[in-house]
Structure 1
Amino acid sequence: MQQPILDQLNAFNGWRGQVAGLIQQLEEQLALTGLLPGSSLLRLGNLAHAIANDSVRAAFVGEFSRGKSELINALFFSEFGGRLLPSSSGQTTMCPVEIQHAGLGVPGLRLLPITSRALDHTIQDLKRSQSIWRKLPLLLDQPAQRNAALKQLTDTSCVALEEARKIGLCPPLNQTPRNRQHSICPSCGLGKVQIPRWRHAIINLPHPILAAGLNILDTPGLNAIGAEPELTLSMLMEANAVIFILSADTGVTHSDLDIWENYIASNPRQNHLVVLNKIDTLWDELKAPAEIEREIAVQVARTAERLGIDARQVIAVSAQKALIGRVKNQAALIEQSRIEALEDAIARQLIPARRERICHEVRDTLGRLLSEHQVLLKGQIHELEQNLASLTDLKSNGESKVPALLAQHQRAISRFEDERSRFEKKKRELLEQAGSQLFAPLDPVGLDLIISNAKNEMLSAWTTAGIQERLRRFFTEAMDRFDLALNGVERLSSLMLACYSDLEQRHGLSHLDALPYAILPRRAELQEMAEQYERFGKRLEIAVNTQSTVVRKAFLTVAQRTRDFVAETLVQARTWVDEAITIMESQMERHMQRIQQQVQTLQDIEQVLDNLDTRITQVRAEIAERQAQQQRSKQIYLSLKALLEDQERTEAVRTSA
């Protein structure tokens, strides 16, 4: 039970630990050389920490009554002797539910009231506010208490129509048919409507598969997805894997296809599995088993063709029969339900895909840092070899040249001191240009004004086309600022390289070719976000048919993610400028130290020529140590590279299987 998933998660965790450990070793090794800025080493440390604490986030998505909660129960929680999540007839989960490991081993349930939709705060923000959530204990050894607590996930409330409209859960009066303007839900009474009681729920459980790093998101149906923009624009996009649930008795309906095309298939960074649930509706005692198998195979093929995917991504199961089989320990029913085939698919397809993503992140981060470090280390070795050559030449030619060389080096120190003073002035100019040409366009304060204007104009746009146009214009304005920053970084990079190249040519500093900052991939990411959100904007008919609250929530979610992305880019740009200037300054400082060291050596030679042999030995030892450092960092990287390549070979075999 769950063994393939648990085994794969444990293997994934072991692999993560090895990768994080090697990155940490590499960070420590690079720190010993003292060549990279602290911010670069911090980036390595943060990457190691993020990988060590990574998890697999799996979202279960589908229309109402497709059996999402029942499938989660059958896959992960049958050991509770019944249903953990309510999924019986008439019991439908009404809000998104996150299921996470209970870090302290204490199970519990947190519920966010639906009235929080009136607040201009995201669910992510509200997770940091403990007081707004209702907290309930979960006594796992007391089924009655546990079931009563979790049954609240299905709760609804009857509220006045106007109250529902204020939080975007009811059409405005001018969009409501005349015969339904006074009461939309007869069971609630005149002038009232039935809405979910909770906006979001978090369940914390001590459970092996959750402890192994799996986080589960159980989503409501299409209406809830459209009414809660953050679910669509944030939670689903950030999930590593999506399990899309259909029903064998209905096939791919129009609303199923709507969810697939607009919320799932459009995200190329996710891996997907499609579950064709309720195959027990095709079981017929009057048909031969082979005939039933053919019928299921036809349904799988049709589903794959309708969704435009490989048939291997479609798994046919009966979640209900799987749960019954596992609770009652009926091996034949478990086998007939095909739940183990789904577990195997999750283990073989979804979890390895997360490994692959981490491989890309590691390569992207390490590539530039190691390139910078190798350039600097080679430069330092080159300087030491030049120093050794000078010392060896001195020893060969005797002490007659020492006074002249000493005077020459002292003049070099004087000239270089003047050069450093000029560089300080140049640095101030570079920082001023960075501020005006790079940092200013990426300043979130400027973006806040664009967001404010866009929000006001969008709320006054009462047509779908108007909302789509304003959303498109918002991204155009944000992209314009990004393009200003792109031009700024190109000019700044050229100025920095020109400034350093001048010093390099006139004073023989080590060559640098790692200063340029690649902001272009960040622009491509922003463009991809814009295209995804514009696709969502085309679906905002529901917004003009319900309440401006939905438009506001949708746009605030888009705006916040865009603002966070631009702010993150600004942090990267500031880090790049700081690192580039720090590297140039450190190279100048090392050059000065080298000249001063040579002066000191010459002064020592003047006093006692015998010291020359000692200094030559010291320089040779320093060269040997730098070469050993180079070899050690290379060896760690090769071990890390082998781990990544092994994962990629495994992934290639899995994909071709």
Structure 2
Amino acid sequence: MSEPGLLELSPILEGLRALNGWRQDVIAGLHGMAAMMADLGLLPSGAMLQMETLAYETEQDSLRIAFVGEFSRGKTELINALFFSDMGTRLLPSGSGQTTMCPVEIRGAPQGRPGLQLLPIASRSLDVSIEKLKRAGSAWTRLPLPLEEKSELNQTLLHLTETVCVTVEDARRIGLCPPLNRTPKDRERTVCPSCGLGKVLIPRWRHALLYLAHPMLDAGLTVLDTPGLNAIGAEPELTFGMLADADAIIFVLGADTGVTQSDLTIWEQYLIRNAHQKQIVLLNKIDTLWDELRDWSGVVAEIEQQVDRTAERLHVLRKQVIPVSGQKGLVARIRRDRKLLERSGMAALERSIAEVLLPARQAAIQAKCRALVERVVMDQKSLLREQMNRITVQMEGMRSLKDRTVEKVPELVEQHRRLLRSFEADRQAFEGKKAVFRQAVEELLLAPLAPASFDFVISNAKAEMLSAWTTAGIVERFKRFFAEAIAHFDTALQGAQQVSELVAGEYQALQKHYRLPALRAVPYAIMPRRAELIDMAENYERFGMMLEIAVNTQSAVVRKAFLTVAGRTRDFVVETRREAEVWVDEIMAVMNQQLQVYHDNAEEELTALQSIVQTMGNIDTRIQQLRQNLQTAEEQVARLDRHAAPLLRLLREPFSTAR
């Protein structure tokens, strides 16, 4: 099916392969760091688990690009040209009169087995997210993909364009038809004449998953092809979930029309909410402006004027707007016509994706990994240095002991025994207070983030949302919903502070008496998560088109929009609760470890002193043993540096295809 060599011309594939190779090096480095952490045994096991989890998440990472635009802007043809020209023909249906009617998610094939999964439109009546339905195999219609048979493959993929006639009532029930009070008088009985009286034409499928074994996808690319404005407004999860989660948005306009009012609506209400998301604007179908009777310089000037007007209307940099012809680009790729490829603008688009989106994805992975890696390296080196300082102090004590009389040694032994007995008594008392710590954690920190209490907030908000039939009412309820969620975070934040003070206060008494190391390397889990929640709230409140749902459609869409936002917020709260539990466990583990280290060192010192009582000659043996321990700790620091340096270098280096 695929023609070798065609894709080798694509800078996107070259960049994806470089990014994937770099990512594999990072994954190997993370696994190696986790293994070394386990071997050194300096940090609690939870830190090693975090490193392994980060390695898994990095392995699952992909560059997610979403194509968005009105109907008939040529999004699907652009996807064919950019990523699948090696097929030698169109992969996705994009011919005359054909258009994909549902969001299509294109991914690499698991175990190399291609296939098409289709989610029936009736699933909209369920209060279940598409993400959760992806784990329910019975909800989908599954079709094999005969890649070697072009006619059969084309016929299978035509399912993506299917529509079905249903009654107006059925369409209204699943949120795909305006309510009666919003339907024009002359169209109350029918919306689509081709379906007959009282019926309307709707998409047959709600969502599609297309799995392909393909070099682009195997190298870490996921593509989302979306239908037009109506589909975005009617499927809140597409807006709040899939588009929001995409690493980059490619916004497709028509070169002949420029920025229409519906284009501007999509842009302002759906796409400019996420400041961290990369965006490229395409003026597609520039071939409609090519005129054999005009001088080519005049055609270029007209295209450049349209680019200027588009950038000005959307308030973006001019370099973000790229004029292209997806159809001519596909032809140029298949025919290997470099001149036509440049003229179509596809070469410039490919370079932009390779030079802007791929480095941004690498930077995002680097930022996510670097914080944890740098922290665990610093923590382990800090513990090793403390260990080295303790050994040095003990060596100095042993040398000083040689200068004392034998009579003083038994007195030191007795002092050390008293110190150990005192420490054990204090340690047991501290252990007895852990039940109080745990109860305080549950009541002050975890209870405000309990899923059950947050479900109550969602339930109340949902009921009030459905009773608010004005834009102002819906805006206010969304704001109040997030205010209540943030209030839960603030309560948890105060609880975290109280718990921290309670635990630290008890530990500090031991720390002061026995000169234990100060608590450190304990991440404060709530504060940064609260900032993320506030950012989520601001993004959703800026999503102006959502506010028109109540007056333009009906309660089914309002409910689904709110449940999508609430579900994502609830997942965020649950994840924060898990992080808070990890935070508390890590505090306890670090304290236990410090107490145990002190106990072990004190026991070791007592044993050494007792040996000295038997024979003063053991002092030199003890000094030699301490010197070996010091050397071992120094070697561990050097080993840590050797292992961490290549990984940290990867997490700081700029993106490059030269690997």
Which amino acid is 2:558 matched to? Answer: V
Aligned to 1:281: 288
> Which of 639, 642, 646 pairs up with 1:639?
646
Which amino acid is 1:119 matched to? Answer: L
Give the deviation of 1:425 after TM superposition: 2.8
> Which of 178, 182, 187 pairs up with 1:175?
182
Does residue 1:265 correspond to 2:272, yes or no?
Answer: yes
Matches within 5 A, 1:241-256: 241-256=248-263
Does residue 1:39 correspond to 2:39, yes or no?
Answer: no
| Local SS of the residue matching 2:448 | coil
RMSD between aligned residues: 1.8
Give the deviation of 1:579 after TM superposition: 0.5
User: Hey, what's the Cα distance between the residues in 2 that align with 1:573 and 1:331?
Assistant: 56
* Cα distance change, pair 32–389 in 1 and its aligned pair in 2 (3 A): farther
Aligned to 2:462: 455
Does residue 1:393 correspond to 2:404, yes or no?
Answer: no
Which amino acid is 1:301 matched to? Answer: D
Matches within 5 A, 1:506-525: 506-515=513-522, 517-525=524-532
Does residue 1:361 correspond to 2:368, yes or no?
Answer: yes
Aligned to 2:303: 296
User: Hey, what's the Cα distance between the residues in 2 that align with 1:530 and 1:537?
Assistant: 13
Q: Spell out, residue by residue over 1:277-311, the C-alpha distance to the aligned partner (whole angstroms, 9 max, x if none).
A: 10001101111111111111111122112211221
Does residue 1:185 correspond to 2:185, yes or no?
Answer: no
Does residue 1:352 correspond to 2:324, yes or no?
Answer: no
Contact 1:464 1:538 (8 Å CA) reproduced? no
Contact 2:165 2:195 (8 Å CA) reproduced? yes
> Which of 34, 54, 59 pairs up with 1:27?
34
Deviates more, 1:418-427 or 1:473-482: 418-427
Which amino acid is 1:128 matched to? Answer: R
Which amino acid is 1:503 matched to? Answer: L
Give the deviation of 1:331 after TM superposition: 4.1
User: Hey, what's the Cα distance between the residues in 2 that align with 1:31 and 1:348?
Assistant: 39
Aligned to 2:115: 108
Give the deviation of 1:184 after TM superposition: 1.0
* Cα distance change, pair 152–543 in 1 and its aligned pair in 2 (3 A): farther
User: Hey, what's the Cα distance between the residues in 2 that align with 1:193 and 1:576?
Assistant: 54
Which amino acid is 2:233 matched to? Answer: G
Contact 2:270 2:545 (8 Å CA) reproduced? no
Which amino acid is 1:224 matched to? Answer: A
| Local SS of the residue matching 1:85 | coil
User: Hey, what's the Cα distance between the residues in 2 that align with 1:516 and 1:110?
Assistant: 42
Give the deviation of 1:634 after TM superposition: 2.9
User: Hey, what's the Cα distance between the residues in 2 that align with 1:289 and 1:383?
Assistant: 79
Which amino acid is 2:437 matched to? Answer: L
User: Hey, what's the Cα distance between the residues in 2 that align with 1:515 and 1:84?
Assistant: 51
Does residue 1:197 correspond to 2:204, yes or no?
Answer: yes
User: Hey, what's the Cα distance between the residues in 2 that align with 1:125 and 1:515?
Assistant: 33
Q: TM-score, with normalisation over the residues of structure 2?
A: 0.95
Which amino acid is 1:75 matched to? Answer: L
| Local SS of the residue matching 2:111 | coil
User: Hey, what's the Cα distance between the residues in 2 that align with 1:372 and 1:537?
Assistant: 46
User: Hey, what's the Cα distance between the residues in 2 that align with 1:459 and 1:217?
Assistant: 31
| Local SS of the residue matching 1:100 | strand
Give the deviation of 1:487 after TM superposition: 1.2
Aligned to 1:219: 226
Aligned to 1:307: 314
User: Hey, what's the Cα distance between the residues in 1 that align with 2:641 and 2:289?
Assistant: 59
Q: Spell out, residue by residue over 1:603-646, the C-alpha distance to the aligned partner (whole angstroms, 9 max, x if none).
A: 22223433333322222111111122123223433333332332
User: Hey, what's the Cα distance between the residues in 1 that align with 2:521 and 2:653?
Assistant: 29
Aligned to 1:655: none
User: Hey, what's the Cα distance between the residues in 2 that align with 1:431 and 1:347?
Assistant: 51
| Local SS of the residue matching 1:480 | helix
Contact 2:63 2:220 (8 Å CA) reproduced? yes
Contact 1:183 1:190 (8 Å CA) reproduced? yes
Q: TM-score, with normalisation over the residues of structure 1?
A: 0.96
Give the deviation of 1:90 after TM superposition: 1.4
Contact 1:468 1:537 (8 Å CA) reproduced? no
Which amino acid is 1:506 matched to? Answer: H
Which amino acid is 2:454 matched to? Answer: L
Does residue 1:601 correspond to 2:608, yes or no?
Answer: yes
> Which of 525, 537, 541 pairs up with 1:534?
541
* Cα distance change, pair 331–516 in 1 and its aligned pair in 2 (3 A): closer
Matches within 5 A, 1:73-152: 73-152=80-159
* Cα distance change, pair 182–238 in 1 and its aligned pair in 2 (3 A): same
| Local SS of the residue matching 2:112 | coil
Deviates more, 1:77-86 or 1:434-443: 77-86
Does residue 1:58 correspond to 2:50, yes or no?
Answer: no
Which amino acid is 1:434 matched to? Answer: V
User: Hey, what's the Cα distance between the residues in 2 that align with 1:381 and 1:452?
Assistant: 57
Which amino acid is 1:643 matched to? Answer: L
> Which of 459, 464, 469 pairs up with 2:476?
469
* Cα distance change, pair 372–330 in 1 and its aligned pair in 2 (3 A): closer
Aligned to 1:403: 410
Does residue 1:6 correspond to 2:13, yes or no?
Answer: yes
Which amino acid is 1:416 matched to? Answer: F
Contact 1:99 1:217 (8 Å CA) reproduced? yes
Deviates more, 1:158-167 or 1:639-648: 639-648
Q: Spell out, residue by residue over 1:454-505, the C-alpha distance to the aligned partner (whole angstroms, 9 max, x if none).
A: 1111112222221221111111111100001111112222333332222111
| Local SS of the residue matching 1:320 | helix
Give the deviation of 1:241 after TM superposition: 1.3
Does residue 1:554 correspond to 2:557, yes or no?
Answer: no
Give the deviation of 1:351 after TM superposition: 0.8
Give the deviation of 1:537 after TM superposition: 5.8
Contact 2:511 2:517 (8 Å CA) reproduced? yes
Give the deviation of 1:312 after TM superposition: 1.4
Deviates more, 1:528-537 or 1:590-599: 528-537
Deviates more, 1:529-538 or 1:417-426: 529-538
User: Hey, what's the Cα distance between the residues in 1 that align with 2:339 and 2:570?
Assistant: 54
Aligned to 1:234: 241
Q: Spell out, residue by residue over 1:203-222, the C-alpha distance to the aligned partner (whole angstroms, 9 max, x if none).
A: 11111111111111101111
| Local SS of the residue matching 2:468 | coil
User: Hey, what's the Cα distance between the residues in 1 that align with 2:101 and 2:176?
Assistant: 13
Which amino acid is 2:211 matched to? Answer: N
Aligned to 2:421: 414
Which amino acid is 1:160 matched to? Answer: T
> Which of 576, 580, 590 pairs up with 2:587?
580
Deviates more, 1:216-225 or 1:84-93: 84-93
Q: Which runs of 5+ in 2 are unaligned?
A: 1-5
Greater than 6 Å deviation, 4+ residue runs: none
Matches within 5 A, 1:323-338: 323-338=330-345
| Local SS of the residue matching 1:199 | strand
User: Hey, what's the Cα distance between the residues in 1 that align with 2:110 and 2:213?
Assistant: 7
Q: Spell out, residue by residue over 1:65-103, the C-alpha distance to the aligned partner (whole angstroms, 9 max, x if none).
A: 110000001112223232111111211111000111112
Does residue 1:374 correspond to 2:381, yes or no?
Answer: yes
* Cα distance change, pair 247–537 in 1 and its aligned pair in 2 (3 A): closer
Contact 1:497 1:515 (8 Å CA) reproduced? no
Contact 1:388 1:620 (8 Å CA) reproduced? yes
* Cα distance change, pair 499–374 in 1 and its aligned pair in 2 (3 A): farther
Q: Which runs of 5+ in 1 are unaligned?
A: 652-657
Contact 1:493 1:515 (8 Å CA) reproduced? no
Contact 1:468 1:538 (8 Å CA) reproduced? no
